[in-house]
């Protein structure tokens, strides 16, 4: 219900997309694992949030009009102290205003930083006029762009389908772990895929959605970015 409310509010405002800082509520409503995240409207608020979350933190530009945050230098990871948070908050917001003068800038998200060694995967769906929502799974970063190593299944997915979709990519062995590395938490990953499948059924107004990346290691998974496109 809460998720539907958020989607309807965006529709009413004729916003074409729901970006990360606006989708936090939706993620929580679905019980998805997310990094601790606080919206800071000033550099002072950002420092207070970082202390609460614990260093190191990530800062991300928070604007309904900026969906590819890195394109405007809007993501800074591994900030270790108040000084770094203060300067990066100012730099990120100033650069965004310069590069996107028409964008409304709410501030920055202050986010828990994933531990070193996590792997990045992408979970998404896209509606097909004929067949309905098509779930997509792939490794993040260069793997999805260059290798096009992605697997697909039509929603709704069964548990068995979720099990299969993560094992059908060519780079599955990277998730299983190389050279004595522990395998990622596959159960947590499959759970997120099943929730994404459920979202596709619950939210017909969302034409396309992407968790990019989901950060995962042998212990836990977290949805570290999300974008939903309305139609």
Residues that bind Mg ion (CB under 5 A): 212, 225
Residues that bind ligand ADP (CB under 6 A): 20, 35, 58, 60, 68-70, 75, 77, 111-114, 120, 212-213, 215, 224-225
| Residue 182 beta carbon to Mg ion: minimum distance, rounded to whole angstroms | 25
List the one residue out of 218, 224, 229 whose CA is nearest residue 27: 224
Segments in the chain forming alpha helices (H):
2-12, 20-29, 43-53, 82-99, 142, 159-167, 172-176, 186-202
With b for 16 or more beta-carbon neighbours within 10 A and e for fewer, the 45-73 pattern comes to bbbbbbeebeebbbbbbbbbebeebeebe
The partner in contact with residue 70, picked from Mg ion, ligand ADP, none with C-beta cut-offs of 5 to 8 angstroms by kind, is ligand ADP
| Residue 161 beta carbon to ligand ADP: minimum distance, rounded to whole angstroms | 26
| Residue 17 beta carbon to ligand ADP: minimum distance, rounded to whole angstroms | 11
The partner in contact with residue 69, picked from Mg ion, ligand ADP, none with C-beta cut-offs of 5 to 8 angstroms by kind, is ligand ADP
Judged by beta carbon, residue 181 or residue 210, the one nearer ligand ADP is 210
Judged by beta carbon, residue 4 or residue 188, the one nearer ligand ADP is 188
Handedness of CA 170, 175, 177, 183 (dihedral sign): negative
The partner in contact with residue 60, picked from Mg ion, ligand ADP, none with C-beta cut-offs of 5 to 8 angstroms by kind, is ligand ADP
Q: Exposed (0-12), middle (13-18) or buried (19+): which is 102, by Cβ within 10 Å? A: exposed
| Residue 29 beta carbon to ligand ADP: minimum distance, rounded to whole angstroms | 20
| Residue 73 beta carbon to ligand ADP: minimum distance, rounded to whole angstroms | 10
Rounded to whole angstroms, how far apart are CA atoms 120 and 81? 25
- Paired strand residues for 209: 125, 228
Instruction: Quickly tell me which residue has 């994404």 as its tokens.
Output: 196
The partner in contact with residue 61, picked from Mg ion, ligand ADP, none with C-beta cut-offs of 5 to 8 angstroms by kind, is none
């Amino acid at each position: 219900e809460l998720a539907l409310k958020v989607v309807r509010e965006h529709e009413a405002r004729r916003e074409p997309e729901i970006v990360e800082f606006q989708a936090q509520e939706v993620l929580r409503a679905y019980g998805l694992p997310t990094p601790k995240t606080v919206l800071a409207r000033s550099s002072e608020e950002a420092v207070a949030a970082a202390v609460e979350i614990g260093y190191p933190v990530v800062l991300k530009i928070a604007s309904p009009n900026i969906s590819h945050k890195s394109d405007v230098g809007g993501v800074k990871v591994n900030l270790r102290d108040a000084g770094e948070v203060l300067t990066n908050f100012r730099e990120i917001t100033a650069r965004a205003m310069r590069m996107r003068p028409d964008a409304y800038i709410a501030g920055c998200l202050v986010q828990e930083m994933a531990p070193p060694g996590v792997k990045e995967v992408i979970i998404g769906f896209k509606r097909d006029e004929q067949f309905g929502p098509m779930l997509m799974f792939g490794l993040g970063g260069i793997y999805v762009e260059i290798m096009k190593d992605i697997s697909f299944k039509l929603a709704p997915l069964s548990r068995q389908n979720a099990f299969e979709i993560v094992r059908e990519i060519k780079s599955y062995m990277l998730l299983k772990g190389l050279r004595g590395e522990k395998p990622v938490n596959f159960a947590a990953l499959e759970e997120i895929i099943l929730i994404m499948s459920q979202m596709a059924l619950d939210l017909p107004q969302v034409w396309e959605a992407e968790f990019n990346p989901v950060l995962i290691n042998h212990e836990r998974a977290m949805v570290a970015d999300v974008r939903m496109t309305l139609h």
